[in-house]
Every structure is written in structure tokens, then in C-alpha cells.
Structure 1
């Protein structure tokens, strides 16, 4: 199972809104993520820098790679584009992180 980590960039002042939206994550998005092999997914917030750090495990690489094509994912990005840095397609601007240590 592949572990994936990345960082995203929250706009200052939207910390509570980001938390609220994720407490109310859409059920259909949860289903899509799970069906795409996403497990053990967490997002952490550094309130000092407004950086979001995501880490997840993925068991279905092809399905995971196709998430950006899914309408519910695109709708979620549209829903959150006002509170974070995004790309032209409304996807969150994210930077993949290299794993340099893992304790099993």
C-alpha cells in the first residue's frame, strides 16, 4: 500500500471554515475516496503558517489517479476554492512530499 503526503495552502483567516467544511464532508465524497482506495487519510493544519499537511494510504493507484476526473471531486474543489490556494481547474494547489523516514 502506497503512502502519500502533500501540503496545501489555506488562506489566512479561514482556519475555522476549513475545519467546519471537513467536519461536514459530503457522504458521496467519502464513498468516492474509499472506492478509490484511499485509507487512513488525515489533514493537519499549521495555524502559524496556514499550511495544510495531508497524508493517506492508497491501495488502488489507478482509481486514485482518476479522482480529479470525478464530478463530485470537482464539485468539492469548487466548494473550497474561496478558502485556499487553487489551480486553474479549482483543484487545491498542492506539493507532493518525499518520504524520507518511516518507522514500521
Structure 2
């Protein structure tokens, strides 16, 4: 497994709604993410800047090109587009982060 982290941006006033939607994550999306090789997926919110910090553990050989084309992922992105900064295809604007320290 390897670690992956990135940031996204929430629109103002949608903090509670973002949490609610993730508390009620669709079982088919959760299953898809797990079967695709994503584990220990966490998202944290900096309420001052509305920056979302996401952390995942990914299986070796994880194919990051496959999920964006899956219908369930596209449906989730459309569902979330009204409360997040998104690209033209409704995918969240995400900024990858480079790991600079790790302690096991």
C-alpha cells in the first residue's frame, strides 16, 4: 500500500451538507472504491479556509484512470457539484500533495 493525499475546496455555507452527504455515502460507491483499491479514506475540513484534506491508502497497482470514467463516480460528482469547486466534468478541483514526512 502507499499513501495519497490531496486537497479540494468546499463552497461557503455547505459544511454541514458535505458531512451529511458523506455520512450517507452510497453503498455502491463505497464498495466500488474499496474494490478499486482505496482503503482508509479520510477527509478533513479546515473550517476557516473551507479546504478539504483527503487521505487514502492505495493498493499497489491502483489505477487512478479507471474511477473517473465509472458511472457511479460520475453520478456522485454531479451530486456533489453544487457544494464544491468543480471542473467542467463535475470532478472536484483537486490539488495533489507531496509527502514530506512520515512516521510509522
TM, length-normalised to structure 1: 0.96
1:80-99 maps to which residues of 2 (within 5 A)? 80-99=80-99
Aligned to 2:20: 20
SS across alignment from 2:40: strand
**RMSD of Structure 2 on Structure 1 (CA):** 0.8
SS across alignment from 2:17: helix
Aligned to 1:61: 62
SS across alignment from 2:84: coil
Give 4+ residue runs of structure 1 displaced > 6 Å after superposition. none
TM, length-normalised to structure 2: 0.96
Aligned length: 103
- Give a deviation string over 1:39-72, Cα, whole Å, max 9, x none: 011000000100000000010412x431101000
Aligned to 1:34: 34
- Gaps of at least 5 residues in structure 1 are none
CA distance in 2, matches of 1:65, 1:88: 17
SS across alignment from 1:65: coil
